[in-house]
Amino acid sequence: MRVLLIGGGGREHALAWKIAQSPLCEALFAAPGNPGTAQCGTNVAVAVEDHNAVVRFCRSERIDFVVVGPEVPLVAGIVDDLAAAGITAFGPSRAAAQLEGSKGFTKELCAEFGIPTAAFARFTEKAAARAYVRERGAPIVVKADGLAAGKGVVVATAIAEAEEAVAMMFGGSVGAAGTEVVIEEFLEGEEASFFALCDGTRAIPLGTAQDHKRAYDGDEGPNTGGMGAYSPAPVLTPDIEARVMREIVEPTLAGMRARGVPFVGVLYAGLMLTPGGPKLIEYNVRFGDPECQVLMPRLESDILPVMRDACDGALDTLSLRWSHETALTVVLAARGYPGAVEKGSEIRGIDAAEAIPGARVFHAGTREEHGRLTANGGRVLNVTALGSKVAEAQERAYAAVNRIDWPEGFCRRDIGWRAVARKNAS
Ligand code: AMP
């Protein structure tokens, strides 16, 4: 198979690393890719937003299969445009990507098909939204309907804060994503992520993970795209996983089919494990970043045939083979992240870090110039390690982090604390 991978973050390096190991992979291209994907294949400067340009590239390179990493091209309909040109792409259609692209769409689906989630109401006017907030009281959660790069959710602990969020969103703080606002019940519990591979009709579990969204140790500081993650998430026991499949994932697939928009691709359920059982917080329609960086090292099966089977509507219900080890990844970010960061500082020591047993460094925002590796974004490296237990994975990941020479970077020092505490307690 000649494969094109769309994207250029840490998630795509992990996917490229896994795809390149497939005996079925004859050639791998990444657009735009990063210095990590360049170790697994060839980076190409195709403008991903220009779907015609992607189609032209696929034709000239005789690409058989396209794998789409990020949500933005999915929501923009890249899978539909490739399909119209006769090219198979892994990921949902534009209509099915609404599961991530519109919170209102997902909440209505949950209501119609009995999928457990927070109680909610949708608003297109500020006054009605404010009245609802006052009626319900705090804590309460205010969300922009559309894609807002992680900035569209405010968990308000006071009414005034919720009203301010409503005013901000309708005032254009998140652009078009805020023309509609969803207000929902605050759910209490522990959060975890569940992934399923879907072929429109069937789903097979693709692993579990927990991430750390806040920038600083102790889950303090501003929200980020994710500062680290580990897989599996011990809180998602086999019993809870079975409930998630039965009560959330399967009814979602059935509901999407009933609406005429079958879902194909990776369904990533953000869950709250409440005393009343698992509830859906949100869906993403692709792998998480950095969760993908801990799922791929644990996946022993070849990923290409199952992705192809999903696109053909022919997923085998046999489950995939997974390593029994735990994987943990620590994000190294540029100082200042998630605010403004400086680019261009030099990074050394990746080979030394990868000499730690079980360790691997996935690139995110890096750049290679004249043999020098430099920082080129907010989240820059994902230092990942496998270990027989989460504590060992954590120890190895930080041993690898300590070998990276990049004074302009920082990381959290407590990734995995919840899982380590749980293991110590059990
Ligand atoms: P989302 O983008 O919908 O995943 O929301 C971002 C974060 O806000 C989640 O990871 C949760 O930590 C929090 N959150 C979202 N919805 C709720 C809710 N209904 N109750 C409590 N926390 C929530």
Question: Which of the four pLDDT bands, split at 50, 70 and 90, describes residue 179?
Answer: confident
Pocket test for ligand 1, best of 174, 193, 281, 285 (most atoms within 8 A of CB): 281
Q: Give yes or no for residue 292 CB within 6 A of ligand 1.
A: no
The per-residue pLDDT for 207 is 95
pLDDT digits (tens, 9 = 90+) for 218-238: 999 998 999 999 999 999 999
**Is-contact 8 32, C-beta < 8 A?**
yes
Give yes or no for residue 387 having a pLDDT over 90.
yes
Cα 302 off chain centre by: 20
Nearest CA residue ID for atom 1, ligand 1:
282
Nearest CA to ligand 1 atom 4: 282
> What pLDDT, on a 0 to 100 scale, did the predictor assign at position 150?
66
Average pLDDT, the chain: 95
Relative to beta strand 264-274, strand 190-199 is: antiparallel
Q: Could you tell me the distance, in angstroms and rounded to a whole number, from the CA of residue 186 to the centre of ligand 1?
A: 8
Going from the Cα of 347 to the center of ligand 1, the distance in angstroms, rounded, reads 34
pLDDT, residue 57, reads 98
pTM score: 0.95
User: Ligand 1 mean position to 155 CA, how many Å?
Assistant: 7
Tell me the backbone φ, ψ of residue 156, rounded to 5 degrees. Answer: -95, 130
Ligand 1: residue of 143, 147, 153, 211 to mutate (most ligand atoms within 8 A of CB) is 153
Distance (Å) from CA 74 to ligand 1 centroid? 22
User: Residues 285, 287, 291, 296: what is their CA dihedral angle, to the nearest 10 degrees?
Assistant: 150
